[in-house]
């Protein structure tokens, strides 16, 4: 049976965006295992003593049950360039613990720091984050993500991001890309100018 993960930001002892993680946790269990009853993450996650301060990643590994909880200090990745990589067969609609398909694409990054995955001509995600693109007036995110992330959902519901179809050829109309995920909101994510996106 496949295992799945939720990576949750733990900042000064508080779990962030937990309702969005709970929603995805339940959807994954319902869609992939047909389960109808779900534990509440806020009750299942016990923060160990000594982790009340600082910025950590809480990793929930689960299948039918929550298998384990892992806590580790979060180190922000330095991303200054992206390489476009095409794959019309990549599928990562649930946050699988097995990232082999993404890792295979990541190895195509060459001298760049990460990849920007194109599927059927549409911009999707980087190897570890959703993308937000700035056109000079607003932030947009592709309506074709491989995995709809919790930070992406929060920013869409707050009206900070707008969702639209973004094709490979549309990238020239944007000024920069920012990578967003549960650990990096729109203010924290790495900023990559379009000139550093390698076609």
Spatial contact of 177 and 197, defined as CB atoms under 8 Å apart:
yes
For residue 158, the cross-strand partners are: none
CATH architecture classification, 82-198: Alpha-Beta Barrel (3.20)
CA 60 vs CA 4, 21, 57, 102: distances in Å: 8, 10, 10, 20
Tens digits of residue pLDDT in 119-150: 999 999 999 999 999 999 999 999 999 999 99
C-alpha 144/C-alpha 184 separation (Å) is: 20
What is the reported pTM?
Answer: 0.94
Structure token digits, residue 20: 């969005």
pLDDT at 176: 97
Q: Would you list the domain boundaries of the chain?
A: 4-73, 82-198
Domain 4-73 classification at class level: alpha beta
Tens digits of residue pLDDT in 3-54: 999 999 999 999 999 999 999 999 999 999 999 999 999 999 999 999 999 9
**191, pLDDT greater than 90:** no
């Amino acid at each position: 049976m496949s295992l799945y993960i939720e990576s949750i930001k733990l900042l000064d002892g508080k779990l962030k965006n937990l309702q969005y993680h709970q929603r995805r946790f339940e959807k994954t269990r319902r869609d992939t295992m047909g389960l109808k009853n779900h534990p509440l993450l806020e009750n299942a996650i016990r923060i160990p003593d000594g982790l009340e301060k600082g910025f950590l990643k809480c990793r929930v590994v689960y299948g039918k049950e929550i298998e384990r909880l892992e806590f580790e200090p979060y180190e922000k990745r330095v991303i200054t360039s992206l390489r476009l990589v095409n794959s019309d067969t990549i599928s990562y609609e649930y946050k699988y613990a097995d990232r082999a398909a993404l890792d295979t694409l990541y190895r195509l990054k060459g001298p760049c720091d990460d990849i920007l995955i194109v599927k059927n001509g549409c911009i999707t995600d980087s190897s570890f984050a959703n993308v937000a693109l700035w056109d000079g007036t607003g932030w947009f995110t592709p309506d074709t993500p491989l995995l709809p992330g919790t930070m992406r959902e929060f920013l869409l519901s707050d009206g900070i991001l707008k969702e639209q179809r973004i094709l490979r050829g549309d990238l020239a109309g944007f000024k920069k890309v920012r990578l967003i995920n549960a650990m990096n909101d729109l203010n924290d994510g790495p900023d990559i100018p379009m000139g550093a996106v390698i076609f």
